[in-house]
Amino acid sequence: SQTIHQWPATLVQPVGSPLSLECTVEGTSNPNLYWYRQAAGRGLQLLFYSVGIGQISSEVPQNLSASRPQDRQFILSSKKLLLSDSGFYLCAGDRDGAEAFFGQGTRLTVV
Amino acid sequence: LAKTTQPISMDSYEGQEVNITCSHNNIATNDYITWYQQFPSQGPRFIIQGYKTKVTNEVASLFIPADRKSSTLSLPRVSLSDTAVYYCLVSPRDYGGSQGNLIFGKGTKLSVKP
């Protein structure tokens, strides 16, 4: 079965600091990969998705970026965090519209 | 992408059957309907997926009418642990050159009371 490993589980970062969140996939190859952000009590906002190595589509303009250096690796980055970047970040994957699988999420607090 | 509309919230009591309906008027021929469950501070979890008529698994049933413009997730005999947010998604399957169609709406917050 497909599994997503996402780390860290929680992160506290000062405003203006860089960010790097990584997720890796097991159990499948060539998945679509996604980064979401979820504010408290709100729905999942799609930030980026990737259909293959080096292919990134951005859904929301912001100071975040994503990269997919390997088939099963998806990275979310920022050069300078803002207070508004706080939230719950989820990495997800799917193949051809079958059921999606999610990581456990990272709770980011920017202070 | 077909847009989905769900009730924002629903209340129920333990032991009752809960039906959550999702509208997707612009569903395409190759779209499937998938439901997910999310608990606080966790990633969503797959519940059930279907294309038409009725699908049943060990946790839920999914009813899809012939026109496929809506679907109903049915949870039999809910318990307190079923309190969660439920999302309905519509996306194509076996879509060569998939464009990553995994867009979540606001979901339905189900509260199960004792």
Structure confidence at residue B50 (pLDDT): 94
User: Which domains, and CATH codes, for chain A?
Assistant: 3-110 (2.60.40.10)
Of the residues B102, B109, B111, the best mutation for testing chain A's interface (the one with the most A CB atoms within 10 Å of its CB) is B102
Is B3 inside a domain boundary? no
Contacts of A102 in chain B (CB under 8 A): 43-45
Query: What SS3 state is found at A48?
Result: strand
In degrees, rounded to 5, the angle at the alpha carbon of residue A54 between the alpha carbons of residues A84 and A46 is 35
Which pLDDT band, with edges at 50, 70 and 90, does B105 fall under?
Answer: confident
Structure confidence at residue B98 (pLDDT): 52
Phi, psi (rounded to 5 degrees) for A85:
-80, -5
Domain housing B78: 9-94+103-113
Residue A42 has pLDDT above 90, yes or no: no
> Looking at A39-48, B19-28, B43-52, B76-85, which range is the least confident one?
A39-48
Token pair in block for residue B22: 């999702």
Is B35 inside a domain boundary? yes
Which pLDDT band, with edges at 50, 70 and 90, does B57 fall under?
Answer: very high
The proportion of chain A whose per-residue pLDDT surpasses 90, expressed as a percent, equals 77
Contacts of A55 in chain B (CB under 8 A): none
CB distance A46 to A57 below 8 Å:
no
Is B2 inside a domain boundary? no
Which pLDDT band, with edges at 50, 70 and 90, does B97 fall under?
Answer: very low
Residue B41 has pLDDT above 70, yes or no: yes
Work out how many domains chain B is built from and give that number.
Answer: 1
**CA of B30: how far to CAs of A97, B21, B59, in Å?**
10, 20, 25
Is B51 inside a domain boundary? yes
| Chain B touched by A35 (CB under 8 Å) | no
Is B54 inside a domain boundary? yes
B2 or A54, which is more confident: A54
Contacts of B107 in chain A (CB under 8 A): 43
| Chain B touched by A34 (CB under 8 Å) | yes
Structure confidence at residue A62 (pLDDT): 79
**Residue range B59-73: mean pLDDT, rounded:** 97
Cβ neighbours, 10 Å, residue A38: 21
**Residue range B24-48: mean pLDDT, rounded:** 92
Residue B95 has pLDDT above 60, yes or no: no
Is B90 inside a domain boundary? yes
Q: Mean pLDDT of all residues in chain B? A: 91
Q: Looking up tokens 């990275």, which residue turns up?
A: A75
DSSP string across B100-113 = --------EEEEEE
What CATH number is associated with residue B22? Answer: 2.60.40.10
In the beta sheet, which residues pair with residue B21? Answer: B72
Is B1 inside a domain boundary? no
